[in-house]
Amino acid sequence: MLAELRTKIDELVRLKAAIAAANTPIYDPIFRLAELKGLVTTLNALDTKAGVFSEGSALSMASREVEYVAQLGKVDIDRLVAELNQEIQALQDALDEANHTRSIDP
């Protein structure tokens, strides 16, 4: 059993190495895709609250006016996210095609 396990481990290592070698030409788009998706997540999480709001706890303090200034507004973020999503989709389509047209010899 141990000999079979070691043989399977050797086969798995060769397969993983073959997959890595086949992916070498597309690493840049793979990494770009991941970074753009992270940027979209960050942008969507930004607080776009802007203006003067009355805030305070009814129990412990009187309300007070607080002014918020957003560096990016909701419209700007939505526009940027839409642009990024177009690039993400183009990258994903290219990667899908690469994945369907490549083969490896393990």
Tens digit of pLDDT at every position of the chain (106 positions): 999 999 999 999 999 999 889 889 999 999 999 999 999 999 999 999 988 888 876 666 678 888 999 899 999 999 999 999 999 999 999 999 998 988 877 5
CA 86 → CA 49, 51, 71, 75, distances in Å? 26, 31, 23, 17
CA dist., res. 43 & res. 74, Å (int):
10
- The answer to whether the CB of 61 falls within 8 A of the CB of 20 is no
Q: What is the value of pTM for the model shown? A: 0.74
